[in-house]
Structure 1
Amino acid sequence: MQDLINNLLKKSSFDWWDVALAAVVVVVGWLASGWGRRGTRKLLERWSGMSAEMTNLLSRAVRYAILLLTIGVVLSILGAPLQPVLAAVIIVATVAVLALRGIASNFGAGIVIQARRPVRMGDTIEVDGWSGRIVELSGRTVLLHTSDGRTVRLPNTMLLQQPLVNASESGSVRSEIWVRITTPVDADTALTLVETAVAEVVPQSGRQLLLETDGPEQVDLCLRFWCTYDEREELRSASVREISSALSTQGHVGWVSSRRLGAVEWVRNSPAPPDGSPFSGDPRRA
């Protein structure tokens, strides 16, 4: 066995000193990769605010980079021609980039999201028609839990490439209640009626009641208020219920909705009365 090793060394371009130096480089490179991984993880945990998964991913990437550098140095010490090695590395890297282009782009987007923090755990967002609460941020996807119980996984690139709406960043969102009264009533009375109806439901802070239309056939009002995203549905429902009850109690006819009503109808066409009725000759009923 010793004779075989000696023969190989005689035929090769390196000697025992090169082997010893290569061994030392391997040990140092292995230790350096471990130190680099731990140092990178501690640095990211302290300063970047990234998630644990993303921190581990980047720290492992640093370790692998150091190991690859170590392998290159060892090959150089042993006299291996670097041009074929570099060519092979470039070919493998090109194939890997082309094959994993989508995954790599999502990982890159995940790093940007973790660094810039446009969203956080627990935020309610809307992206490309999907809305829900963020329950998980990973290196490749963002996991949403929708209001109807579904789970949606969005690729990280979508958050950077599509318009992103964050309903939780400011702490509150604005809701609107639209009221249309079609019985004769003056604007001040209508405003007082709606204001009194929602006094116990909607917080006064940030509440705003606007007169949108004051005409002979109808009065349109818009109630605006601010609340958290989670409270909006409940407060809208309670406001619609209280305003509708107040209108009914006062003998008024109208519509109350959390969606904007249609265009103003200043004149409502009534069906023509049948012949012989008391109003058949009244031009006002035409």
Structure 2
Amino acid sequence: MSMLGPAEIRNLAQKLDLRPTKRLGQNFVIDAGTVRRIVRVAEVTPHDTVIEIGPGLGSLTLALLPEVQRVIAVEIDPVLAAQLPETVAHHAGPYAERLTVIHDDALRIASADLPAEAQPTALVANLPYNVSVPVVLHLLDVLPSLQRGLVMVQSEVADRLAAGPGSKVYGVPSAKAAWYADVRRAGPVGRTVFWPVPNVDSGLVSLVRREPPATAASRNEVFAVVDAAFAQRRKTLRAALATWAGSPVLAEEALRKAGVDPGARGEQLAIEDFARIAESRSV
């Protein structure tokens, strides 16, 4: 079992005539210590089936395979998807049978696209910066088997995902992620562990599945309130929810019914508050 270092990464890239693209958010981890740390912090076990989004050249995949039952790697780039099994066979031959590669867009993946006997229990990934939040929310939504995750994202995005009510960076991603999971920062990652080196630092985010708030409102109804509340951050909820409710008066009525101050702002509310507001109009 051998890991990919800077020389191996560059040799692979040269072989594939690979030029990392910003469009696909491609920044490859070249530091073996970082991927080992990710696997350790993710606390995966031999019973886990891990879904990895954007495996790229395979650095994290190689670190995961010895530790888990199976890795389902979802890669949008056809060249990288075709290369990954070869890389694993060369560097981690005894574990090659644990790898399943799916060439697809993670934002289109559904439970039915994955092996029925191997629904993922954990998400572990170095996520492309440009789609990190949509991917996390989508997978938590469509893969009920996911019980936890550890993702590496842009540091600023990590702050937003893990933020609680009252924080300056609390917003739509924070509230929606909280519908599905307990979310926290799990450590920083410097930019020099990537090739090419991005112009921002990264951060690890831990997600542990929890039950959504008990409410008669649907998830879509609750998320519609979240979207409306943060569409104009400086407005009071009475004003921000006016279009959603039909008028400022109806918004105030819904807020008071939910036990929420109409003069409050969205960044002060927890996901449970948004659920009560949605329920006040859905029943």
Q: Normalized against structure 2, the TM-score is what?
A: 0.26
The structure with more radius of gyration: 1
Q: Normalized against structure 1, the TM-score is what?
A: 0.26
* Higher normalized contact order (CA 8 Å, seq sep 6+, divided by chain length): 2
